Amino acid sequence: MTAKKDLLTIWDFSAEEVRSILNRSIALKSGVDRMKCPLIGKSIGLFFEKPSTRTRVSFEVGVYQLGAQPIVLSPRELQLGRGETIADTARTLSRYLHGMVMRVFQHDTVAEFARHASIPVINGLSNAHHPCQAFADVMTVQERKGRTDGIRFAFIGDGNNVAHSLIEIAARTGLDFVIAAPEGYDPDPAVVQRARSAGGRIAIVRDAREAAAGADVLYTDVWVSMGQEAEADEKVEKFRSFQINDDLLGRAKPDAMVLHCLPAVRGNEITDAVMDGPHSAIFAQAENRLHTEKALLEYLVS
């Protein structure tokens, strides 16, 4: 029996594995193997400590389309909510399920579960990483630009979970990554350092206009992530000049594309005009969550 494989961060996948997931996602989107059910007879747990629209529904639909049974779980419904340990929950659920997707507040929770589970564990977002999102984002770049290598990818905003996974996948796929963030909101230096050591071109600047200049992709995420509500007023004030608007878009390449992982706070990190305008690939990006989740499940679970 081969050892199970998890997706906790992008580093769990080599550059070749990332490429192969992206190619398979594009193939699945084209409709090949539509009627095949490679996961027939299997059951996949979908555990959410926080709200979710895209991750929850794309995984649930993806599991169904692959022929397996999705089981959506929340801490309240499990004995976890009454103090059963993560380790005992992982040991138990491994006896029923064939894979587990987890959205958690603390990254340690999904890491601890994965350590004690004998089934593949997929991080569906933690405070520190959002690897599934990064796969869909880079798939969208590959589809629209025909390549990833050398693409100038400008992330405008918080050095958060989404930024971390993008920095890591940039190193795996050759994106030329720049983040513009206010002082105090840079990505984790350890994430940046590791990506640079793996050959990633990662730059950090303070001026959104500098990051946007000549960009192929402009990307943003909310200024206030789930769990940061207490800091909301302070963050919104500090991020005011980190909005993707027509002025910023005008500094990017004429054929630049705009991405946002969603949900968006329209009028904060992105204007309506840009979000609904011709450069936006945001809803195609959201759709791609389905195709990449299916490719990931097929690779990890079958």
| Closest listed residue to residue 137, CA positions, set 154, 159, 120 | 154
Quote the least distance from Cβ 260 to ligand NVA, whole Å. 10
Q: State which of residues 9, 94, 133, 140 lies at the interface with ligand CP (CB under 6 A).
A: 133
Q: Does 225 bind ligand CP (CB under 6 A)?
A: no
Q: In the annotation, is 103 catalytic?
A: yes
User: Choosing among ligand CP, ligand NVA, none, which partner's interface includes residue 53 (Cβ < 5 to 8 Å by kind)?
Assistant: ligand CP
Single-letter code of the amino acid located at 5: K
What's the token pair of residue 70?
């999705």
The alpha carbon dihedral of 106, 12, 218, 205 has a sign of positive
Concatenated DSSP letters for 132-168? HHHHHHHHHHHHHHS--TT-EEEEES--SHHHHHHHH
Can you read off the two tokens belonging to residue 247? 């002025």
| SS3 label, residue 126 | coil
Nearer to ligand CP, 56 or 194 (CB): 56
Known catalytic residue: 243?
Answer: no
Smallest distance, Å, CB 125 to ligand NVA? 6
**Residue 127 binding ligand CP, by CB under 6 A:** no
- What is the C-alpha to C-alpha distance for residues 210 and 205, in angstroms, rounded to an integer? 7
- 100 contacts ligand CP (rule: CB under 6 A): no
| Pairing mode of beta strands 43-48, 201-205 | unpaired
**Quick check: 54 binds ligand CP (CB under 6 A)?**
yes
Query: Is 261 part of the annotated catalytic residue set?
Result: yes
Give the tokens for residue 184. 């105090």
Site string for ligand CP, 249-268 (x = CB under 6 A): ------------xxx-----
Residues in touch with ligand NVA (CB under 6 A): 125, 160-162, 221-222, 225-226, 261
Q: Which is nearer to ligand CP, 44 or 125 (CB)?
A: 125
221 is annotated as an active-site residue: yes
Q: Quick check: 164 binds ligand CP (CB under 6 A)?
A: no
- Retrieve residue 1's tokens: 């029996």
Residue 221 binding partner per list ligand CP, ligand NVA, none, with a CB distance cut-off of 5 to 8 Å that depends on partner kind: ligand NVA
Token pair, residue 40, equals 């027939």
- Chain residues binding ligand CP by CB under 6 A are 52-56, 125, 133, 261-263
